[in-house]
Amino acid sequence: MVRKFFFQTKLSKALLAACLLAFLAWWSPAFLGKSIASVTQVFLFPFERIFSYVAFESRETLRFFSSIGELKTRNEELVRENLDLRSEAALLKEVRRENEMLRRDFDLDLRNQYQLVSAEVVALGGVARGQSLIINRGSGAHMEVGMPVIVGKGLLVGRISEVFFGSSRVDLLSSPESMVAVTTPDGSAKGIVRGEHGLGLLFDMVPRTDVFKRGDTIVTSGLGGEFPRGLLVGTLQDPEYTSDKLFQRAPVISPVKYPDIRFVSVIRESKP
Amino acid sequence: MSTWIRIASIASVVLLHIVLMPALFPSVSVPIALVTTSVVWTALLGFPAVLPPLLTAIIICDSILFGSVQFGSLYFVGVSYSVSFFMKRTLLGERSGLGSAVLAIFTGGAVIGYPIFAWLSTGMPTENPIPANMLSDFFLAIFFFIVLIPVLRWFESMIRTLRQDAQFSIK
């Protein structure tokens, strides 16, 4: 029987492969990851779009058939909600007109003047898909790291963390690195919203003296200049004190489920 | 030509992992596509031969999704080695029907084991260890195993045919 040396065995090759991956994970070279991602994204991009379209449509069809029994009740709920929102919108339209007139009178710039670039989500990544999105706009569409990403007219979902040629990675608010200065619309509570390992959002570092309750909405405060003021982040849940009793905090529920996001808008320029 | 088919097979795995799986099963946090691919590729190619395509797929997926390779990706090499280890010692590869069934169950088990490995390697929780979730992941992995086996086998048979063609062609 021919005796094998250790380096000829499968175990040695497995260990070598594991060591290579461990070294790359430890070294974490940004330039290498970015180059690989950029090159492969260029080739995979057309297929990504087709695959994501097929996958989203299939999921929507499946969801439609599985929720057919709930459609009647859901429809009634939405009709009621629509009526409430319509009356609220009419009221806000009046307030907005008044606000714009006052801002003009006081020579202040109008708020929320964004230049938006729409993009399609082609891939989702991270823990339970709550950490990052890949969108189909990259350096070719003048995307830059740090640009805020919203859904609809102003629901903040994250910011661009890496730009490739034809695509960009968006770190969602629920990713562990995410931290955004927020406030309640009336300014009664200020703090930060940070991600909880892709599992949710937390309104944190709120001083004890600040007042907020379950059901309050929070918006970006504009502090730090990274995000424009007034972007909706989510709705607060039951508040609690931190273990050292110095601050308050509360879980935040975003109005959208991040894995369901298919189209987003990137704020390229905004007036504070 | 066989190189292009190899690239196409790797690209399919990458697209399955980064596009199809998240869109179809958004609540699943375990990389079922990569775990299943590790098992299927090892069964088809054998252990040393599986390393180049598997490592390429891992590095591409991690680079696109996270910007760099993650420690959790070591798991796929471990899974691949384990499959090879057990296939050789139990001669599962010789018994195709029983072998496929055992490998499908092994894939399900490997998928359930991933959150524990990820937790140990990164210290971060991946999802709540709810038995119902684990069970659905288990069955989803078996489903993907059944789907991926013919697809990847087709790629490999194409590569084998083309290589033989090149070997025996007389010019």
Q: A–B: how many Cβ contacts below 8 A?
A: 146
Cross-chain residue pair B22–A30, CB shorter than 8 Å:
no
pLDDT value of position B59: 92
pLDDT value of position B126: 55
CA-to-CA distance for B61 and B65, rounded, in angstroms? 6
Where in chain A does DSSP place strands (E)?
113-125, 132-135, 148-151, 155-163, 168-172, 179-183, 190-195, 201-207, 217-220, 232-236, 240-241, 247-253, 263-271
Lowest mean pLDDT among A60-64, A145-149, A195-199, B160-164: A195-199
pLDDT exceeds 90 at position A126 = no
Contacts of B29 in chain A (CB under 8 A): 127-129
Cross-chain residue pair A40–B60, CB shorter than 8 Å:
yes
pLDDT exceeds 60 at position A129 = no
Q: Where exactly are the structural domains of chain A?
A: 115-272
pLDDT exceeds 90 at position B110 = yes
The mean pLDDT value of chain B amounts to: 84
Cross-chain residue pair A134–B64, CB shorter than 8 Å:
yes
Residues 6+ apart with CB under 8 A from A239: A206, A212, A213, A214, A248, A249, A250
Tokens matching residue B68: 């760099």
List the single best residue of A36, A41, A165, A256 to mutate versus B (max B Cβ within 10 A): A36
Lowest mean pLDDT among A104-118, A132-146, A230-244: A104-118
Cross-chain residue pair B73–A25, CB shorter than 8 Å:
yes
Sign of CA dihedral A195, A196, A201, A207: negative
Residues 6+ apart with CB under 8 A from B122: B70, B71, B72
End-to-end CA distance of chain B: 17
Contacts of A50 in chain B (CB under 8 A): none
Q: How confident is the model at residue B170 (pLDDT cuts 50, 70, 90)?
A: very low
Q: How much is the average pLDDT of A11-20?
A: 90
Nearest CA distance, B53 vs chain A (angstrom): 12
List the single best residue of B16, B59, B62, B65 to mutate versus A (max A Cβ within 10 A): B65
Cross-chain residue pair A34–B67, CB shorter than 8 Å:
yes
A-chain residue closest to B127, CA distance? A128
Q: How much is the average pLDDT of B155-162?
A: 88
Identity of the residue in A17, A44, A58 whose CB atom sits nearest the CB atom of B77: A17
DSSP annotation string for B111-166: HHHHHHHHHHHHS---S---HHHHHHHHHHHHHHHHHHHHHHHHHHHHHHHHHHHH
CA-to-CA distance for B70 and B119, rounded, in angstroms? 12
Contacts of B78 in chain A (CB under 8 A): 14, 18
Tens digits of residue pLDDT in A136-157 = 888 888 899 999 999 887 889 9
Percentage of chain B with pLDDT > 90? Answer: 38
Kind plus residue range of the DSSP H or E element containing A19: helix A10-27
Cross-chain residue pair B74–A58, CB shorter than 8 Å:
no
pLDDT exceeds 80 at position B50 = yes
Cross-chain residue pair B67–A48, CB shorter than 8 Å:
no
Architecture in CATH for domain A115-272: Beta Barrel (2.40)
Nearest CA distance, B98 vs chain A (angstrom): 24
